Structure formats: C-alpha cells, structure tokens
A and B are shown apart, each in its own frame.
Chain A
Amino acid sequence: MVIPEDRQLNIVVAVKLVPDTNADKRIDPQTRRLVRSAAETVLNPFDEYAIEAGLQLKEQLADGSSVTIVTMAPESGKEVVRKALAMGADRAVMLSDPAFAGSDVWATAYVLAAGIRRIGFDLVLTGTQSTDAITGELPGALAEYLGVPGLTYAREIHVAAGRVRVKRETDTGYQTLSAPLPALASITKSAAEPRFASLKGIMAAKKKEIAVLRLADLEIAQAVGGDGAKLEVTELTASPARAAGKTVTAADGNAGARTIVAFLKERNLL
C-alpha cells in the first residue's frame, strides 16, 4: 500500500490507562496482578509524549490530518481518555469487553492491532513503556501484528512524502531511520514535553466522540484476555532491601572528596 503524498493522515495514538504513579500500589498475592481498583487511574505518563508528537504532526501538516486515540480499557476509563481529547486529539476509540480483561502483552498487542485496523491508520504512535508493567514490548509486538515497520525510541519524528523519518535514541547515540507509511513509531520522553489540556480543550472535549468497540466488532481469531494469555507470572518476590550506605568521615571537605573519588574509581564508576 502506498500512501499518496497529498492525502490527510490518520494518526492513531495507542495509550494505556494505568494506576496513578503517585498512589500506593498493592499486588494481589493470589492473582499476582496489580489491584487496579486500589489506585486511581491516569493516562500512562509515557503515552502523553506520543499524544504530543501526534498533535504536533497534525499541526505541522495542517491539512486536515487527524489524531485518534485508541486504548484497550474498561469503559469506566472514559473520563481518563477524555483528557487526551482535551489535549487536542480529535476522537477516541475504546476497545472494551470483559473478554479482554487479563490480557498479557501479546494479547494486548493483538487486540489493539485489530482495533487499529478497524479504525484505519497511516501512522501509529505509542509511548515506549507503561509505568505499571514496564515491559516495553508492546510497540514492537503491535508493529508486527499490524504488519508495518516499527520505528522505536524516536525522540524526533517527521512525516513527508509518504514516509516517516525518526531520530532514534540508542544507548550510544542516534540513528536516523526512515520508512514508508503506514508505520508505527514509539516516542521517548526526550521528545517534546506534553502540553496541558487547556480549559478550552476541556470544554471542547465534552463534545468529542468516544466510540466503544467490543470483541464482536473486531476481527479476532484467537482467545484473548486471561484465557488467551501466553505469559504467566509464576512468582513474585520483593527486591532485596538496599544495603546501608557508607558514610565518609574526613578532616575536611577536600580530604572527604578525595576519599569519595577514590571509592568511585575503584568501582569504575568514574
């Protein structure tokens, strides 16, 4: 499929609803899953960077291209999704069905891909990870299920002439990658800071559509949700308590600094 250069783009941003990062969290020892009701739900903070990137692309293109938010979440998360609309996204689609509950990364990517195909897309944007599960696997899996190139860890993204180009962060530097649309890119936290949802945006969001798609609305050929999960958490252990720190006592600041520098050098930390 070749996207004509002058066609408006359907930018789809996949987001996750997660427990408030600041709230106390609890794990159910029986199910070994996070107790979701115990914490308040927010947009995954990483995903706000993807929303911002999508909105900026839309503003730069200024040709009627649109940003659609998609999330797999219970309908009770509607008001959280509305925040993305208040930031400026055009519409949202929630993939909500009891059958989706308990999905692992694989099933989530599979269901999201079905939803995104149903919506129609030219460019899919995601965050790099979620603050709850922190697997960082979803963007790759989603690109795979959509059958499009996955350009991960983008700190800059441009779209022109039917292609997407990103500056990709690696441990040692940057890569510039380019791929034809349709494609997927995951956006890092070093991309543009997410905007605030303005008061006008909040008012406008009241009138924007949040559509709900159920299992039956999607082309899904495999078991999803808890039944279809391929990944099982078999055991949970708390990380060991940190050992007590080392206190350096010295005659004066200079001597103290020297001791600390020597300590760090010994461990190749300097």
Chain B
Amino acid sequence: MNVARPLAQLIGELERLPGVGPKSAQRLAYHVLRMTVEDVQRLSDALCQAKELLKLCEACQNVSAEPLCEICRDARRDPHIICVVSEPRDIAALERVNEFKGHYHVLHGLLSPMDGVGPEQLKMRELIERLRGEIHEVILATNPTLEGDATALYLAKLIKPIGIKVTRLAHGMPVGAELDYADSATLMSALQYRREM
C-alpha cells in the first residue's frame, strides 16, 4: 500500500501499542487525521504530560504525580499493614471495595522465569526496605494463578523470618480469577477471611 510517510509512521507507532493490530492502527490513524488541530494537540499534550509528570510513588511504587501518592499521604490510613499487589490496577479494584484501610505495595509483575522475570525485575527490594519500619502485617494479594501463587509463596518465605505476620487473600476467589475482574462481594470476603501463611 502506498501511504504518505508521516501517516505510515503514525500507523507504525500506534501498532506498537498493546492490543492494537494493523487494522485498528490504520483506523485510529485516519481518525487522528480527521480530528481538529486543537484536539490533536490536546491528545499529544496529554500523552507527553502523563509520561513527564507521572512517576512511581517512592513508598508503594504505585503510579503517582507526587513523590508520595495520595494513599501513602493519607493520614487516616493504617501504615502498619501493607497489601502487596502485582499491578497498579489491582489497587483500584481493592479500593472500590472500600474494605481495606492500610497501605499498598505494587510489584509491577509476577515471578516468571520463562519471561525472564526474577526478583530483580520486580519491586521486591523496595518492599523489603519498607519492612524495616514498624509493619504488623503483610497481605499478599497477588492473583491466584500459578505465577501469583508462586510469587506469594516466595515472598512469604522471605518475610516470615523477619517476624512479620504474612497473610494471603482467602480463596473465596475462584482459581485463576483476577482481582481486576472479581466482584466486590467476593473481594470483600477474600479480604475478611485472609489466612495466615
């Protein structure tokens, strides 16, 4: 196909995004061409600003515009309990349930040697660092998949010798279910009935 170079470039960049195939990349690109200059500017500003302004929270590694995220700054929350999740979107799922009032820690992935992910590729050192403070309980809320369970088990063996209580979300959640898709009632009972590891 003979496409003008800037258009081909735009399609190429869009195609690199996850879940965007050649066809949707083309459709999006033509859509951008039909947008007003102002709208395109707004979109491109939003992209750049998100990248520029958003960093990881120094404490919990969640995405944040400030050095410390809103949750870590919230004085009403209990800083002695840390709930460990795999992705930032898992925090959103747990927050919707409105049951948990402690702090979080985002690993940004799960152990998976097949994909070259070991402890160094995850925010584990940062988690262990935080445990030097006064922490009473660590809740391991990784998904109940093979990799989620393996990561939880690895962390439990690492953390328990420090003398901190380690719990895992109760398996009210169907095996293989993701936090992100679990309904609120399931999540709430999974939190209430978490078991000690």
Q: Do A and B bind each other?
A: no
Query: Interface on A for B, CB 8 Å cutoff?
Result: none
